[in-house]
Structure formats: C-alpha cells, structure tokens
C-alpha cells in the first residue's frame, strides 16, 4: 500500500506525486462514481451530477481541515502553524532563531485579544493577550484593508484565528503583518478551486491544477474499485465505501502502482490529467 490520507473516509490512499509539484497535495476518497464506461468515451472525464456535488464537498472539507491544522494531504503553500504563546516564547529565548522560523513566513496563528488599537492613520490593529507581566511586549497584528471592518467588530478577550506574515520583532515586540481572518482565507481559496473545477468541467483539463486533478483521479480510482459506489444507495459514507470495495480490482490497481503504472481502465484518465505516482525509490521520503 502507498499511504496518503483522506478526511472523510479516514483510510490510507495512494501517496502520489505530481511531476510539477514538490509534495503533491491530494485528498479524499469519498467521492463519486465515475462510471467505467465514461473513460472510453471521447470526453474522458464526464461526471454525473452526484459526482460533481461530492467533488465540491471534498474540496471544501480538505481545505478547511488543512487550515485548521488537521491531517490531510491537501497543502496550499508553505504555512507555519503556531500560537501567540509559542511565538512569544520563541522570540524571548532567541530572536535570531525565531526570525529564521517565523519572519517572512506565512503563519496560521491563534490567540486571545488583549486590546484593539488604532495607528496614526486610524487603521485598526490587535494587541494580543500575553503571559508577560502587564502585557509588556505583547504581539501585535496589523491587517489587510479588506479585514478592517471585521477587526473593528471584535472585542477584548475574543479568540481569533488569523493568517499573517511574520514581520520579526520590533523593540522586543513580535509583529505580524498583512493579516486576514482564517475563515476568509479558507473561503477565498475554496472558491478558487471550485472555479477551477467548473473550468475543468466546461473547458477541459488544466494540468497545472495539481490538487484538483489528483482528486479527479482518486475519485475515478475509488469509483472503479467500488463498482460505482454500488453499496452507497443514498449517501456516500466511509462505511459504504469500505463495504463496496472489490478486492481484486483494488489489488490490480496497487500492483500496477508498484511499477508506477495504471490499469488499462484508468490509464486514459491518468494520461489526460497528467497524473503520476511517486517513483518507488522516493515513496519512503514523503
């Protein structure tokens, strides 16, 4: 078996790598029936309405889980997950080392508001609650203009989850810049991937859309080994997916994957998507 993870079915999948991306980000198996017969048609990817809805569900859930620090194969950029408490501890111990870890990096950070202030231009910013005495040198977060209204609506002691750029330390105070609310970032990225998926449906494949194309292939793979999700009569769940697996088909796919190849039934789709398995000599390093 080649491990990867999925949020809904909570099972190991194939650990896959796209040649155009470092660590391929890929997700779930919950999805949809891509009937075997459609693979042989002129239009290689021709999903049913049910498939489309399930694809959208998986995209949403994988992105949401990733940005909340959960286990998922989805990865969007290089984010460092941290808290205000950890950030301040690291800067207190060694500013140079903390800068190497946080400065200029995209951070997903959580903390409790100590106060909400305004700068000389009346732009709102947050001073986080700190464990330091009298809240001395407490971390400050400055925001993108699009987030100002939401910042103004916050209150002292509210807990917030942000996506920010680490801006180093100024006079002993850790600084965060260009902050946005995590929920807004999740929505923006999800909307973009849903738009990319709609483009795939209407205009055809774009091989640069690595994450999306991997999901499409994994959906087809899962649909094939469950005979079109034959045990999922009403709603697709991890339980009915498990019950519907055809072990012979599953083994045939795994045997082919061991040689970085695909079974004939799925190879046209893999080629269409420019989808590749990770070479065997690299799998243990991922």
- Please report the domains of the chain, with CATH numbers, ordered by start residue: 36-75+204-277 (no CATH), 79-184 (2.40.50.140)
Per residue in 154-194, pLDDT (tens digit) is 999 999 999 999 999 999 999 999 999 999 999 999 999 99
> What's the DSSP call for residue 157?
T
Q: Which residues of the chain have pLDDT under 70?
A: 1-42, 50, 73-77, 133-135, 279-286
Angle, CA 42 vertex, CA 267 and CA 235 arms, to 5°: 70
Three-class secondary structure of residue 137 per DSSP = coil
Consecutive H or E run containing 244: none
Phi-psi region of 12 (alpha: psi -120 to 50; beta: other; left: phi over 0): beta
Q: How far is CA 186 from each of CA 60, 64, 198, rounded to the nearest angstrom? A: 9, 6, 18
CA separation for the pair 33, 50 (Å, rounded)? 8
> What's the DSSP call for residue 105?
S
CB 263 within 8 A of CB 277: no
Among residues 223, 107, 101, 218, the alpha carbon closest in space to that of 163 is found at 107
Strands (E), the chain: 79-83, 106-118, 124-128, 140-143, 159-170, 173-181
CA separation for the pair 163, 177 (Å, rounded)? 9
Three-class secondary structure of residue 42 per DSSP = coil
Tokens standing for 259?
Answer: 């040689």
Among residues 188, 198, 209, the alpha carbon closest in space to that of 67 is found at 188
Query: What is the pLDDT at residue 76?
Result: 66
Query: What is the pLDDT at residue 237?
Result: 77
Query: What is the pLDDT at residue 62?
Result: 87
Per residue in 44-82, pLDDT (tens digit) is 888 777 678 778 888 898 899 889 888 776 666 689 999
CA separation for the pair 246, 264 (Å, rounded)? 17
CA separation for the pair 69, 72 (Å, rounded)? 9
CA separation for the pair 238, 13 (Å, rounded)? 13
Strands (E), 124-254: 124-128, 140-143, 159-170, 173-181
> CA torsion angle for 214, 220, 223, 227 (degrees, to 10)?
-150
């Amino acid at each position: 078996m080649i491990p990867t993870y999925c949020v809904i079915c909570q099972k190991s999948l194939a650990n896959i790598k796209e040649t155009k991306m470092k660590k391929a980000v890929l997700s779930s198996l919950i999805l949809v029936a891509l009937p075997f017969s459609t693979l042989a048609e002129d239009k290689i990817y021709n999903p049913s309405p049910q498939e489309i809805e399930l694809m959208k569900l998986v995209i949403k859930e994988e992105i949401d889980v990733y940005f909340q620090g959960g286990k998922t194969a989805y990865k969007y950029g290089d984010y460092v997950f941290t808290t205000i408490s950890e950030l301040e501890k690291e800067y207190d111990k060694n500013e140079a080392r903390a800068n190497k870890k946080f400065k200029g990096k995209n951070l997903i950070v959580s903390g409790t508001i100590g106060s909400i202030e305004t700068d000389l231009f009346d732009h709102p910013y947050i001073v986080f609650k700190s464990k330091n005495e009298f809240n001395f040198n407490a971390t400050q977060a400055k925001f993108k203009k699009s987030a100002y209204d939401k910042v103004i609506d916050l209150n002292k002691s509210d807990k917030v989850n942000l996506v920010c750029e680490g801006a180093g330390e100024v006079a002993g105070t850790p600084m965060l810049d260009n902050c946005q609310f995590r929920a807004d970032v999740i929505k923006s990225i999800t909307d973009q991937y849903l738009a990319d998926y709609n483009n795939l449906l209407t205009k055809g494949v774009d091989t640069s859309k690595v994450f999306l194309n991997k999901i499409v292939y994994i959906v087809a793979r899962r649909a094939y080994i469950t005979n079109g999700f034959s045990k999922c009569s009403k709603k697709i769940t991890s339980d009915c997916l498990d019950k519907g697996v055809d072990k012979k088909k599953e083994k045939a796919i795994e045997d082919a994957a061991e040689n970085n190849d695909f079974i004939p039934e799925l190879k046209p789709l893999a080629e269409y998507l420019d989808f590749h398995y990770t070479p065997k000599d690299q799998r243990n390093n991922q």
